[in-house]
Structure 1
Amino acid sequence: MKIGWRTIKTALGAVIAMVLAYELHLSYWATAGIITILSVQNTTRYSFTVAGLRILATVLAFVIAILSFWLLGFNPWAFGLFLLLFIPVAMQLRLQEGIVVSSVLVTHFLLQKSYSWHWLVNEFNLMLIGVGVALIFNLFMPSLLAQIKGFQQETEAQLQQILLQMAQQLAGTPDVPTWQHLGALLTVIRKGNEWANRQRDNQLLIENDFYHSYFEMRRNQYEMLRQMQSNLDQITLSLKESAAIHELLTQAAANSANPQKIKHLQKSVAKLQTRFDQGPLPTNRAEFESRAHLYLFLLDFETMLTLADDFYAKVILMEK
């Protein structure tokens, strides 16, 4: 049995919250521990969001509870009226994160048959202790950089494989499984982006969008690669330009993360496009269609390189 970091934080936080509430002589002190359990989140930023929403929901719940108990007295019907009013209002104000916890606190008014200032302070302090302890524990999050870099390396490997397979298909190799690798590439990009977002949300004082931007760039490149493969599948003839594009794809596979090489590739693509424009016209329909698909393939390849170049230019600018 493996005990995770979040489980440890939750258990220890609940104990500390209950001890604090008990030492402060608060009634229903165990509730502080329950609130802590419900408030420990996966990311630091989200835990602050949840804490704020629950505090606001508690204030709203107390106002509606006082009105309900004043109208109907301290009985289950009054609590039912409270829920009937509180839940839709909280949902409308997007305070749904605080509905359950606030409702539990309101039941203490019902049990004590009082909403005096003493009980209002008691319940609000339980909420503050519960979310406060959870916030402190949520400041300590393990770094996810090792996992993110693993996804980055896998993305680079998949991208390299796809470009090499496209080069092989241009050279006449049949049945190249590029589409399967494209699916694998999309999967690893999505996973990497999810972990990058979690890492970013655990950094309150440091704004670092490098990995998020990286996986977004690769996601956009994936769309270009899909279009490139679609056009590649439509090419039925061997064209003289194919050899030059084969060489460019091979170079791109070896240098997909090298900003200087990417600029060199962009210049090579521009020269090849000029060759296309100045070349002789097709002599038959089959040649025309193959040349058209190859030209579209080259345009998408250029866009893919531009996406990478723009990303690395932004990174270099941020480092200065």
Structure 2
Amino acid sequence: MGFRVIKTAAATLLSILLAAAAGIPSAQSAGLLAILGVETTRKRSLRTITARFSASLVGLLCGIVLFYLLGFHYWVLGLYVLFGFPLIVKAGFKEGIVTSSVVVFRVFGQAELSLHVLLQQIELLIIGLGSAGLVNLIYMPQGGSLIAGIRKEVDSQFSVIFKQMARTLRDPLLVWDGKELIGASDAIQRGITASSREMENHVIHPDEAWNVYFYMRKEQLESIQNMMQLLSQVYRQLPHGDMVADLFDQLSGDVLAEEYTGRTEKLLDKLEQEFQEMELPGTRDEFEVRSAILQLCRELALYLKIAKRHKVPVEIKPARRSERLRGQG
């Protein structure tokens, strides 16, 4: 927000100076248009400026018709709001209602319908909105380091979650508040917001790697929540639980690794084969717990498939994408 204020100040000053140099009366109006045109991303800025300029042309046309037919009276401005605003919204330029009002009210203030006055308003729009667009295009803060920090936070939260799941399997009486689940969810949402903003700052060839990563983690978090429900059904310690705990210990390290190692997946396949060779449960309690553990393994397999679905093969992956999609375990 602080940097946006600086950009707004720069765009406002630039537009006023240009409007004054062009000899436009009340050059400060260009500053108001510039304030309305400054946005948080380049793409959003282009969309906003286009919408505001188009809305202003529609509003200007409506105002000219009303002033020509009814004259320059205050009640005519009320009619402009009554009929002009719905027309602008219907045209799909509702973002530009305020901008259009600026130029229409300027025409009213000059109480003159002439080609010179109309061209002046268009020139004012170009200067005001153009200054905002220029400032936005020249520089936008890069969010790469911020997003990388959020990614590390998410990976760390996942790592702790898997460690706690391993501890719970070894000791079902262990009490865990699960605060890392909330922390991971919050970090993922912040990451999605930041990565979307970063994409909108690249008008040509936006990099979607960060967005893919955080949406992958969001999907995986849903899988983890399913695992937690199954884990709550493991109310006694069994050797099977200890074996699966080793998987989660491995995964807690893999999730921090540079690449998807596949080690947990191989261990899981091997473990499922060992389960098939074991004797059937002898009691109902053992059956219920082993059933929950087996379902937990299947949910873990789904978690790993989500990572593989979004992962580019290491041998052909570009270095930049490799760096951004690290830790997909």
Same fold at TM > 0.5: yes
Q: What CA RMSD, in Å, does the superposition of the two structures yield over aligned residues?
A: 2.0
1:269 is aligned to 2:268? yes
Cα distance change, pair 318–49 in 1 and its aligned pair in 2 (3 A):
farther
Contact 2:107 / 2:117 at 8 angstroms: preserved in 1? yes
Q: Aligned residue for 1:143?
A: 142
Q: Aligned residue for 2:322?
A: none
Q: CA deviation at 1:81?
A: 1.2
Q: Aligned residue for 2:153?
A: 154
Q: CA deviation at 1:240?
A: 2.4
Contact 2:172 / 2:236 at 8 angstroms: preserved in 1? no
Q: For 1:214-225, what aligned pairs fall within 5 Å after superposition?
A: 214-225=213-224
Contact 1:165 / 1:178 at 8 angstroms: preserved in 2? no
Q: For 1:185-200, what aligned pairs fall within 5 Å after superposition?
A: 185-200=184-199
Q: For 1:87-126, what aligned pairs fall within 5 Å after superposition?
A: 87-126=85-124
Choose which of 3, 7, 15 in structure 2 pairs with 1:5: 3
Q: For 1:41-56, what aligned pairs fall within 5 Å after superposition?
A: 41-56=39-54
Q: CA deviation at 1:176?
A: 3.8
2:3 and 2:314 map into 1 onto residues whose CA distance is 33
Contact 1:57 / 1:95 at 8 angstroms: preserved in 2? yes
1:33 is aligned to 2:35? no
Task: Look up the equivalent residue of 1:245 and give its one-letter code.
Answer: V
Unpaired segments of 5 or more residues in structure 1?
Answer: none
Q: Aligned residue for 2:291?
A: 292
Contact 1:166 / 1:178 at 8 angstroms: preserved in 2? no
Choose which of 122, 126, 129 in structure 1 pairs with 2:127: 129
1:274 and 1:78 map into 2 onto residues whose CA distance is 82
2:19 and 2:260 map into 1 onto residues whose CA distance is 62
Instruction: Give the aligned length.
Output: 318
Q: For 1:47-66, what aligned pairs fall within 5 Å after superposition?
A: 47-66=45-64
1:202 is aligned to 2:191? no
Contact 1:162 / 1:182 at 8 angstroms: preserved in 2? yes
Task: Look up the equivalent residue of 2:57 and give its one-letter code.
Answer: V
1:267 and 1:183 map into 2 onto residues whose CA distance is 30
SS of 1:313's partner is coil
Task: Look up the equivalent residue of 1:57 and give its one-letter code.
Answer: A
Q: CA deviation at 1:71?
A: 2.8
Cα distance change, pair 260–9 in 1 and its aligned pair in 2 (3 A):
closer
With the length of structure 2 as denominator, give the TM-score of the two structures. Answer: 0.90
Q: CA deviation at 1:92?
A: 2.8
Cα distance change, pair 315–209 in 1 and its aligned pair in 2 (3 A):
farther
Q: Aligned residue for 2:20?
A: 22
Task: Look up the equivalent residue of 1:49 and give its one-letter code.
Answer: R
Cα distance change, pair 63–311 in 1 and its aligned pair in 2 (3 A):
same
1:281 and 1:173 map into 2 onto residues whose CA distance is 21
Per-residue CA deviation, residues 113-161 of structure 1 (Å, 9 max, x unaligned), is: 2232111111111111111111111120111111111111111111100
Greater Cα shift, 68-77 or 43-52: 68-77
Q: CA deviation at 1:93?
A: 3.2
Percent identity reads: 28
2:93 and 2:142 map into 1 onto residues whose CA distance is 30
Task: Look up the equivalent residue of 1:91 and give its one-letter code.
Answer: V
Cα distance change, pair 172–64 in 1 and its aligned pair in 2 (3 A):
same
Q: CA deviation at 1:261?
A: 5.4
Contact 1:10 / 1:36 at 8 angstroms: preserved in 2? yes
1:176 and 1:210 map into 2 onto residues whose CA distance is 37
2:214 and 2:44 map into 1 onto residues whose CA distance is 22
Contact 1:217 / 1:311 at 8 angstroms: preserved in 2? yes
Q: Aligned residue for 2:76?
A: 78
Q: Aligned residue for 1:282?
A: 281
Greater Cα shift, 133-142 or 176-185: 176-185
Q: CA deviation at 1:258?
A: 3.8
SS of 2:218's partner is helix
1:316 and 1:127 map into 2 onto residues whose CA distance is 52
Cα distance change, pair 75–214 in 1 and its aligned pair in 2 (3 A):
same
SS of 2:312's partner is helix
Unpaired segments of 5 or more residues in structure 2?
Answer: 320-329
Cα distance change, pair 5–315 in 1 and its aligned pair in 2 (3 A):
farther
Per-residue CA deviation, residues 80-112 of structure 1 (Å, 9 max, x unaligned), is: 111111212222333121101111210112122
Cα distance change, pair 41–295 in 1 and its aligned pair in 2 (3 A):
same
1:314 and 1:83 map into 2 onto residues whose CA distance is 58
2:31 and 2:284 map into 1 onto residues whose CA distance is 75
Per-residue CA deviation, residues 192-229 of structure 1 (Å, 9 max, x unaligned), is: 22111111111122321111111111111110111101
